[in-house]
């Protein structure tokens, strides 16, 4: 794997990152876990709203990536990896769900009947641009307008939760992008590149990359069945 491929991989992985809570105590908890802890569980329209919110995070992520003040010339590849995942979002979500199953856990978001294909994502992103322009930078207004897309009426605690989650996710993203220095990129690419086998030795592959490849293969197999 070369450096550009590694950056695309990092962009693709942001789709999985958008599924998790960044305000809930601990790591690896989905947004639904944070809602449960906050006693702010949505009711009617919640599945569609949560999916729209994940897409809204990814919309903000793409904007942040493209405007990130990096002098290393690598952010275009991160954006390309994210776009590739967004254009094949059902497969990406299925892959991450399978990887979680292989890891002994499970993924709730993205496993429903909402088919967020390329056309759906592009339509939602156009609506997000309209909402952002109308809201004049107010996250509270954006979340309220976002909920209306799925005919969901959030209470004050739900709006507060998602406003704080949005801020925390963007903070996570800024930190992640700032760590993508040339040295870190090269190290990451080397870690995820199969080592050339020497006589009597086995090739070594980074476990996370191997897991991703396994998940992709399983997803393709499921789609063919």
Band the pLDDT of 72: cuts 50, 70, 90: low
- Judge whether residue 190 has pLDDT over 90: no
CB burial class (10 A; 0-12, 13-18, 19+) of residue 92? buried
- Judge whether residue 145 has pLDDT over 90: yes
Of 49 and 166, which is predicted with more confidence? 166
Which of the 8 DSSP states describes residue 179?
Answer: T
pTM listed for this prediction:
0.78
- Judge whether residue 19 has pLDDT over 60: yes
- Judge whether residue 40 has pLDDT over 60: no
Of 64 and 24, which is predicted with more confidence? 64
Contact 65, 11 (CB under 8 A): yes
Cα of first residue to Cα of last residue in the chain, in angstroms, is: 30
Average pLDDT over residues 189-208: 53
Q: What angle do CA 159, 161, 163 make, to 5 degrees?
A: 65
Helix (H, G, I), strand (E, B) or coil at 165: helix
Considering the chain, what is the average pLDDT of its residues? 76
What pLDDT, on a 0 to 100 scale, did the predictor assign at position 213?
Answer: 52
Of 97 and 7, which is predicted with more confidence? 7
What pLDDT, on a 0 to 100 scale, did the predictor assign at position 106?
Answer: 46
* Cα 165 to Cα 41: distance, rounded to the nearest angstrom: 15
Nearest Cα neighbor of 45 from 147, 145, 155 is 147
- Judge whether residue 207 has pLDDT over 80: no
Domain ranges of the chain: 3-224
What pLDDT, on a 0 to 100 scale, did the predictor assign at position 203?
Answer: 41
Of 33 and 15, which is predicted with more confidence? 15
At 74-132, the pLDDT tens digits run: 788 899 999 999 998 888 888 877 766 655 444 555 555 556 788 999 999 999 999 99
What pLDDT, on a 0 to 100 scale, did the predictor assign at position 73?
Answer: 61
Band the pLDDT of 41: cuts 50, 70, 90: low
Of 5 and 104, which is predicted with more confidence? 5
What pLDDT, on a 0 to 100 scale, did the predictor assign at position 117?
Answer: 85
């Amino acid at each position: 794997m070369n450096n550009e491929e590694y950056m695309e991989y990092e962009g693709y992985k942001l789709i999985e990152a958008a599924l998790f809570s960044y305000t809930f105590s601990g790591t690896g908890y989905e947004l639904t876990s944070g809602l449960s802890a906050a006693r702010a569980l949505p009711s009617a329209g919640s599945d569609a709203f949560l999916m729209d919110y994940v897409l809204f995070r990814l919309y903000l992520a793409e904007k942040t990536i493209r405007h990130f003040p990096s002098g290393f010339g690598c952010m275009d590849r991160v954006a390309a990896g994210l776009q590739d995942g967004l254009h094949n979002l059902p497969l990406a979500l299925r892959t991450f769900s399978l990887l979680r199953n292989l890891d002994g856990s499970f993924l709730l978001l993205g496993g429903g009947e909402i088919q967020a294909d390329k056309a759906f994502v592009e339509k939602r992103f156009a609506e997000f641009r309209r909402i952002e322009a109308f809201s004049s930078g107010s996250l509270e207004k954006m979340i309220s307008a976002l909920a209306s897309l799925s005919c969901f009426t959030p209470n004050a605690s739900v709006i507060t939760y998602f406003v704080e989650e949005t801020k925390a996710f963007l903070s996570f993203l800024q930190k992640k992008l700032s760590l993508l220095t040339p040295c870190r990129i090269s190290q990451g690419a080397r870690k995820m590149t199969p080592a050339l086998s020497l006589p009597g030795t086995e090739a070594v592959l980074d476990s996370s990359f191997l897991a991703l490849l396994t998940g992709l293969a399983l997803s393709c197999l499921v789609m063919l069945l």
